[in-house]
Structure 1
Amino acid sequence: MSRQNMTLEQKIGQMIMCGFQTPQINTEIKTLIEEHHLGGIIYFRRNVNDKEQVGQLSIDLQQYSKQFTDIPLFISVDQEGGMVARLDWDDITLIPGNMAVGASRDVELAYEMARICGEELLRMGINMNFAPSVDINNNPKNPVIGVRSYGECPELVSEMGAAQIRGLQEANVSASAKHFPGHGDTAVDSHHGLAAVPHDEERLFAMELAPFVRAIQESVDCIMTAHVMFPAFEPEQIPSTISRKVLTDLLRNRLGFEGVIVTDCLEMHAISKEFGIPEGTIRAVEAGADLILISHRFTEQVNAIHALVDAVRSGRISEQRIDESVDRILALKAKRQMEKLTAITENYAEGFGSESSKKAVQLLCERSITLVKDEGQLPLRKDERTLVIWPEVRQRTEVDEPIIQAYTLATALQPSMSQVDEYRIGTYPDAAEVQAAVAHAKDYDQVIVITYNAVSELHEGQVNIVKQLTQHSNVRVIVASTRNPYDFNQFPEAKTYLCCYENRPATMTALAKVLLGESPTVGRLPVSINETYGFGFGQQLGSTVQV
């Protein structure tokens, strides 16, 4: 179907991307496709059970849509890797997150991770990935980006982001650089409130915008907006998603981006609470957005579609403005040949989680482990009593680890050591849990404390465990952070500290090899922990690397 033959309602449907609530087609998504001409779908954990089910769901959605139009659906997901992975089963290849990639400094492996991810997504019928995040994490207090960033240096973020864009798109999956113009230097999560980046234009072009400029040079298919205010570009107190000065004047005209501009979800409070979703939809289109993402509630999705149609009918938005976006959307769907979707076959499983793919992941994980400090405690003594204190994530969120991991550092260490035990705590241990952990640990010779966002005030119990254990000279304490690397600032007295950037099984295997002295520590800090341990710092046992 060409744009010239489409009704206004059909064109506006192409500009909307929605989520739905079930792992199979339900009445609501059928209604959006049939009655509202929906052009895009986004998957969340609620939609996915296993790779076969996801592949069949994608086929079912495309076939249902084909009854009403010959324009294929965008089917998208947030599969950044690491902690942001909607699909995280053992029989697919789960790639590391961005900060681990940044710590490895390995551009070729960064590309390979994204290519592998793209090929496996496409086999499940997913043709668009909302990745990579090219936000620069130059604010340690950022509550939403953190390890989703490659680091604090624009050159590193630009290089790794470009490599992963290339990998995804060479697998014929649309990449989406996010969150424009940059969500890294904020201390507010736009899921919950409205943040601002107050810097001047010169600083923004040198820092926040640099990875997006590189992404455009790499011909990235999509750029996702940030619900963040940038007063240097937009004097009104409105987020970039609904700012014409940001999306059209800056991104389109000054930076020359010709691809599809997609909004972050308009149900996030920075939009929904401040402006309302229907009005936010209209303003985003007025600003220059092509694809409007409304992830969760059917009523809001329908209201937004009606509001956009009414805005054109009333003359608030011209139909020419709609046509511009539809042309870009149709061009991308044709470019990526999204009408092609191979049916699931008997050998379907062979395209996932191959040995070569998992070896590549393991290699990158090993290259990411960063030794920040060691005062002669490594490698571990294999014949001594060893305890791993493990903070388990007990509540799943949409951008968080799976709950209660079976494979932990203790699992990885046990085959090589005479005695390794594990003591599990929550990520928010209270005083009683702290005291119980410390008392238990005193019976061991060496204790490895795994921390998970201990830098947060909410996780002070983790900090107290480290501090109390380091006061006992008869216990050697090794600390390894498994998310943000800034934890070390809470307990600088620790004699040994390593950064892992995530707690996934491949990373824990890599950490075990480092602790046992079986693998060199070649990772380098992608962010500055403090003045002593700055960007590029990394140690090998007995030596230091600083770049």
Structure 2
Amino acid sequence: MSFMNTDQWTLEQKIGQLFVCGFHDIVPDAQMETLIADYQIGGVIYFRRNIGTPQQIYQLSIELQQQAYNQGLPPLLIAIDQEGGMVSRIDQEELSLIPGNMSLGATGDPAWTAAASSISARELRALGINVNFAPCVDVNNNPRNPVIGVRSYSEKPDIVAAHGAAAITAMQEQGVAATAKHFPGHGDTEVDSHYGLASVLHDVQRLEQIELLPFREAITAGTDLIMSAHVIFPAFEPDPIPATLSHRVLTGLLRQQLGFDGVIVTDCLEMHAIAKHFPIPEATVMALEAGADLLLVSHTLQEQIAAIEAVRHAVEQGRISEQRIDESVTRILQLKARRQMDRQPMSEQEWLSLLGNEQSADVLRAIAARSITVVKDDHQLPLQPAADGKQGLVIWPQLSRRTEVAEAVGHDRNLAEVLTSLGLPAERLIIGTEPDAEERLVTLQKAQQSGFVVQVTYTSTGQLPAEQAQLTQCLHEQLRVPLIVVSMRNPYDLNELPELRTYICTYENRKYAVEALAAVLAGTETATGKLPVSLNADYTVQI
């Protein structure tokens, strides 16, 4: 089976190339062996469930590619969602901790985005991963968006466009195919498409000015892929179907109007925005009819096989032409050739030298230092050691579970320990993200015995949990010592809080952000980050 010459391919071999599938182990399991050997799939996607050590990831990639080679198949697309920040499937200490998009947006300089993206792509490629489902170029102009939030660079489309283009260029220079997502824009929704079907109700003029601008710039930058959104856009598609299934959106708008000639990939067709409304096999055929090239089915073998079989039946019954299949296969194979996905893997010595090295760490520390944003401060910074010798208190809300969508802590760096090392003795109190009345009481009592208090807030959805807001209000009303409130994810927490004297945004709670925050609190560094989004009428976007 020739890599680019498809003249002798069977219909089944062509259809297989359209699918990117997930599996459930850290080695090639029976699910993946079946999909490669029996269904000739074109790609795989890694989630946290597939991730162990760097050596394991490297070996997994080699073994999967060998399985495809043994079947006479083209090299596999090996994809991952490694956006940085809260969406980082690989977050082992051995790899560089790439900042999230809103942290990068807060630096005000796309050159830092390019630098971070280059580091990320270089390490992914070293581990055999050749497609990144990033960057997210959604414009986050809805504070209650439960799924985008800090995954966006800004609420300003020109800022998102500039950072997105910088990320795409940097990734692809390192041999990793970049993916602009989620077309035509998931930023102004209040429903997470993992769990439900959202709509964006703006007119065409507004969508052209805001949502589409970053995608136009991504196309100009040469993005290899664009991922569709499972979101309804009545301005483009009058029927009540999401963009992923809309010929008017994927072909009429993206292909014909915007001129994109790269690979269109669906978001996962098992997400509830699709699966709760359309049978997955039917949705797969509809997505292909709409203009998608790559069909992402991430989890269930039964659904993956049913989707593949549904496409075959659609061709055999004349619903989809074989020419239409050929068009997508050609785009996919051109992508595989362009990014040299058949090249030999690096030696272990080579790729180990690229992972998490000190040069990369210096760049990422510099980014974190430039992202910390002091939104307001009424003469409380820098903090001083308490005159009576009392320790400070860091109140740290922590999620109790990992998910495939987001990670609460990443690499936990104890803020209290860092403050102590900078001459501000402090201890940390870990609480839940929805602390009950007893937790709040214990926390308040401890805070009243402390020399200063740094309360971290953490919002994983579109609104600060009421329990965290109640705790903050009690602290604000009852403490007579400095209270610094730090939002370590969505910056909009200020809207749920009383009139605080000091409010800081870090946009993430990973190691470098914590260290940079501590330096600002202690006065050893000056915060230079700018708000990439508006919090309210008083605190508007600064870049």
TM-score norm. by structure 2 comes to: 0.97
Amino acid at match of 2:406: D
Which of 191, 205, 209 is matched with 1:202 structurally? 205
Structure 2 counterpart of 1:248: 251
1:126/1:478 CA distance change after superposition, 3 Å? same
5+ residue gaps, structure 2: none
Say if 1:232 and 1:171 are closer, same or farther in 2 by CA, change over 3 A.
Answer: same
1:472 partnered with 2:481: no
1:21 maps to 2:27: no
Contact kept? 2:417, 2:427, Cα under 8 Å: no
**1:423 Cα deviation (Å)?**
0.8
Q: 1:291 aligns with which of 290, 294, 313?
A: 294
2:129 paired with 1:129: no
2:319 is the counterpart of 1:313: no
Match of 1:326 among 310, 314, 329: 329
Q: Encode CA deviations 1:501-521: one digit per residue, 9 max, x unaligned.
A: 000011000000111111111
Alignment match of 1:387 (pick from 393, 410, 416): 393
1:454, 1:290 → 2: CA distance?
32
Deviations 1:94-153 (A, max 9, x none): 110000000111211110100110000000000000000000000011000000000100
**Once the 2 structures are TM-superposed, how far is the Cα of residue 418 of structure 1 from its aligned partner?**
4.9
Q: 4+ residue runs of structure 1 moved beyond 3 angstroms?
A: 402-406, 454-458
- What is aligned with 1:422? 428
Give the distance between the partners of 1:12 and 1:160, measured in 2 at CA: 35
Q: Does structure 1 residue 111 correspond to structure 2 residue 117?
A: no
Quote the RMSD (CA, aligned, Å). Answer: 1.3
Q: Is the 8 A contact 1:466 1:494 kept in 2?
A: no
Task: Provide the rounded CA distance (Å) in 2 between the counterparts of 1:303 and 1:454.
Answer: 34
- Among all aligned residue pairs of Structure 1 and Structure 2, give the percentage whose two residues are the same amino acid: 50
Number of residue pairs the alignment of both structures matches: 537
The equivalent of 1:46 in structure 2 is 49
Counterpart residue type for residue 393 of structure 2 = L
Q: What are the equivalent positions in structure 2 for 1:124-273 lying under 5 Å apart?
A: 124-273=127-276
Question: Contact 1:17–1:38 at 8 Å: present in 2 too?
Answer: yes
Contact 1:485-1:529 at 8 Å conserved across structures:
yes
> Of residues 11, 15, 26 in structure 1, which corresponds to 2:14?
11
Q: Is the CA contact (8 Å cut-off) linking 2:520 and 2:526 kept in structure 1? A: yes
SS in 1 for 2:180: strand
Question: Partner residue of 1:57?
Answer: 60
Could you give the per-residue CA deviations for residues 437-459 of structure 1, whole angstroms, max 9, x where no partner exists?
Answer: 11111001210000001885572
Partner of 1:30: 33
- Code of the aligned partner of 2:273: A
In structure 2, give the amino acid aligned to 1:519: E
Q: Structure 1 CA distance, aligned partners of 2:420 and 2:174?
A: 38
TM-score, normalising length: structure 1? 0.96
Contact kept? 2:464, 2:493, Cα under 8 Å: no
Indicate whether 1:503 and 2:509 are aligned: yes
CA positional deviation for 1:386: 0.7
Q: In the alignment, residue 69 of structure 1 is paired with which amino acid?
A: G
Deviations 1:410-455 (A, max 9, x none): 1321211252111110111111111111111100121000000188
Equivalent pair of 1:455/1:486 in contact (CA under 8 Å): no
**Alpha carbons of structure 1 residues 187 and 456: separation in structure 2 relative to 1, 3 Å:** closer
1:398 has 2:401 as partner: no
- SS of the counterpart of 1:471? helix
1:377 aligns with 2:383: no
State the secondary structure of the residue aligned to 1:80.
Answer: strand
Amino acid at match of 1:517: G
**What secondary structure sits across from 2:325 in the alignment?**
helix
Cα separation, 2, equivalents of 1:416 and 1:458: 30
**Structure 1 unmatched ranges of 5 or more:** 537-546
For 2:497, the equivalent position in structure 1 comes to 491
The one-letter code of the counterpart of 1:103 is A
Report the counterpart of residue 442 of structure 2 in structure 1. 436
Counterpart among 348, 353, 376 of residue 350 in structure 1? 353
Equivalent residue letter for 2:413: Y
Task: Note if contact 1:410-1:422 (Cα within 8 Å) is conserved in structure 2.
Answer: yes
CA positional deviation for 1:348:
3.5
Q: Distance in 2 between matches of 1:256 and 1:169?
A: 20
Contact 2:375 / 2:539 at 8 angstroms: preserved in 1? Answer: yes
